[in-house]
Chains A and B, each alone.
Chain A
Amino acid sequence: MPTLLGLVLGLCILLICLVYSVTLGAADIPLDKILASFIAFDGSYEHLVVQTVRLPRVLIAILVGSALAVSGALMQGLTRNPLADPGILGIESGAALAVVATIFIFGSSSLSVLTIVAFLGAGVTATLVYFLGSLGRGGATPLNLTVAGAALTALISSLTTAVLILSQRTLEEIRFWLAGSLAGRDSNILLQALPFVMVGLVVAFALGRQITTMSLGEDVAKGLGQKTAWIKIVTAISVVLLAGSSVALAGPIGFIGLVVPHMVKFYIKADYRWILPYSAVLGAILLLVADIAARLLLKPQELPVGVMTALIGAPFFVYLAKSKVKK
């Protein structure tokens, strides 16, 4: 079964990237020490670094990458919009504003509260973008949705900037996170968001067949006996879970959700039962590689990984807008 083989191959590549990323850092830690930190943790400096700094970072990269890629694939399939991406449609910036505003109003909040708030922000923005994008005669076409998302992003980020300027304290707490970065996250937030990402992913994978029919058009899906309203609601919940928790984990990181499903579709054309898991694996690989590149490119300085993904993804966006969007 070649499709399954590809997935296994992808997981192997992911594992290699994972190990390489863990070895990377200010201190050179050889591979055997890394392995030893799992098998026989002795509390030495190297073991601590691996277990508390590098491993969480890598795992967050994997979670965020796959969450973003899968949410992008879901949106692209459901709305038949080749430009759909939680970053471009403003969902990530909505989640970010919700987090920033919560810290501003209530002071530092616990991680679990912030995660929930991020979901709320993501959900509200997603609804708003869809509503605004579908106003008027043209309806929710890719063009309209994307431009509505961009305008809403401009509004939301100006509000976010205003809040950050108003409160120096919020700025200090959040500045690094807001740039879209994987650095300096600890394992607490990882454990906090893990269940949500898992639920989101499982729901998404379970929806594979329905998304495939929806991607043929809503009328076709109805004709095939799908309850399209339910599919839309459940998919939206999954998208919000995935995009919201990835923002809670790493701040807004753009373009992963856009690029990955298209890369997958070079190999698998239309079957979302496979596109979704492939996207998860490839998204994790892409974000890990982007993070590695962000750390190596200007060594010893480190770029926010969001900049790296934009460098890869934005030209791709232009290409897609040029070739896939007719009219």
Chain B
Amino acid sequence: MKVDWLVIRSQVISFRIDRRVPLVLLFLGLITIVAMVMNLGRGEYPISPLDIIKTVLGIDTGNPDHAFVIYNLRLSRTLVALMVGVALAISGTIFQGLTRNPLADPGIIGINAGASLAAVSAIVLINSVLIYTLPLAALVGALLMSVLIYSLAWNKGSSPVLLVLMGIGLSAIASAFTSLLITFGDIYNVSDALVWLAGSVYGRTWEQVFSFLPWLIVFAPTALLLARHLNALNLGDDVAKGLGTRVEWERGLLVLVGAALAGAAVATAGNIGFVGLIAPHIGRQLVGAHHQGLIPTSALLGGMIVVIADFLGRTLFAPIEIPCGVVTAAVGAPYFLYLLIRNRKK
């Protein structure tokens, strides 16, 4: 065992991660950066990768257009894609760990639909709603939905598939209300709401980056700090209690973190499905199931997936653009089916 773990110990935290983690993170980070650079170069006005790297690093390329195109138009979009992916993946990892359910994903168990409903309500019912308050509204929706689904399907050790079933039903209710609001609402606000309901990072600006960033800065490290408790809770409530976890308190905190990340992601980019499902699964293949290593790994994977999905969505049928939510669903739904079948064979 001694070669398998890296231990980081200081006054404040003690951290044990799989030895594979740093290498895997480095590798994933490189792929993500390559994907982001490709994404930045893609568009009406192609820019070579070298010029992109120069511009981002602040080196003059001799072409003032480069700085304008990258800073004002493209970088914000790619950053939003990255951040949304990171948030969704962490949220998915938390919910899969908490529910001990390999099929859990904030989109599948209805939390994204609740967040969408709350955010659409805010857009439609409050005139000229501030963009910074949208993640807050989405958080309320996501939390309410978590409580609802918890009380309906997740306590008393319900089967994994029942949780998904409840998620389907609750999502259907939430999206029916969302359609109701959209029909009911003022037409200008409605077009606002429709833009991000599709699950897209199209036209996202720095404003969105900065309204999202605080959520990621606060909650992503919190998730990492709680990883130890997630490991314990993953073993079952009794074991967790025995290991000294205050079960209800830690679980509540984890739900809050998961809902906040999912809600902020939905408020920024709409419902991009299946990222929170796929990323933790690939992550587990790479670094194992310990959450201290799994959370950063699947976070990077999630960011990478959304950035690549956005790239594919813009490239596959150029010049027409497919929202990255459609791309992730086209890949994620078959993967979900595969998991469903494999899950049952055990």
Query: Taking beta carbons and an 8 Å cutoff, which residues of A are in contact with B?
Result: 83, 88, 132, 135-138, 143-144, 146-148, 150-152, 154-155, 157-159, 161-162, 165-166, 254-255, 298, 301-304, 307, 310-311, 313-315, 317-318, 321-322, 325, 327
Contacts and interface: CB of A to CB of B under 8 A. Distances in A.
A151 B179 contact: no
Nearest to A311: B176
B165 A325 contact: yes
Contacts of A314: 169-170, 172-173, 176
30 contacts: A135-B341, A143-B162, A147-B161, A147-B165, A151-B340, A154-B336, A155-B330, A158-B326, A158-B330, A158-B333, A161-B323, A162-B330, A165-B322, A165-B323, A165-B326, A166-B322, A303-B183, A310-B172, A310-B173, A310-B176, A311-B176, A314-B170, A314-B173, A317-B168, A317-B169, A318-B152, A318-B170, A322-B153, A322-B166, A325-B165
B299 interface: no
Interface in B155-175: 159, 161-162, 164-166, 168-170, 172-173, 175
A311 B177 contact: yes
Given A136-B344, A158-B326, A310-B175, A298 B162 contact: no
Given A136-B341, A151-B336, A155-B329, A143 B317 contact: no
A148 B172 contact: no
A321 B320 CA distance: 41
A307 B183 contact: yes
Interface in B228-242: none
Contacts of A146: 165, 168
A148 B166 CA distance: 14
B159 A143 contact: yes
Contacts of A83: 165
B176 A307 contact: yes
Given A144-B344, A311-B173, A321 B162 contact: yes
A307 B326 contact: no
Given A158-B330, A311-B177, A321-B165, 13 more contacts: A143-B161, A148-B340, A158-B326, A165-B321, A165-B322, A165-B323, A254-B172, A298-B184, A302-B183, A303-B180, A313-B172, A314-B176, A318-B152
B183 A147 contact: no
Contacts of A137: 344-345
Contact of A321 (B169, B329, B333, B340): B169
B337 interface: yes
Interface string B313-346: 0000100111101110110111011001110110
Interface in B166-220: 166, 168-170, 172-173, 175-177, 179-180, 183-184, 198
A154 B333 contact: yes
A307 B323 CA distance: 24
B168 A166 contact: no
A301 B330 contact: no
A311 B117 CA distance: 14
B339 to A, nearest CB: 9
Contacts of A317: 168-169, 172
A166 B329 contact: no
Contacts of A138: 344
A144 B159 CA distance: 11
B333 A152 contact: yes
Contacts of B172: 254-255, 310, 313-314, 317
A311 B333 contact: no
Contacts of A135: 341, 344
A298 B183 contact: yes
A318 B166 CA distance: 6
A88 B165 CA distance: 11
The 7 closest A-B pairs by CB, nearest first: A155-B333, A158-B329, A136-B344, A310-B176, A318-B169, A314-B172, A314-B173
Nearest to A88: B168
Given A165-B320, A321-B165, A148 B337 contact: yes
A307 B344 contact: no
A143 B103 CA distance: 13
Contact of A143 (B165, B273, B323, B333): B165
B345 A136 contact: yes
A151 B159 contact: no
Contacts of B198: 161
Contacts of B317: 166
A310 B169 CA distance: 10
A311 B178 CA distance: 11
Contacts of B166: 318, 321-322
A128 to B, nearest CB: 10
A264 B36 CA distance: 56
Contacts of B325: 158
B176 A162 contact: no
Contacts of B333: 151-152, 154-155, 158
Contact of A159 (B273, B320, B330, B344): B330
Contacts of A302: 183
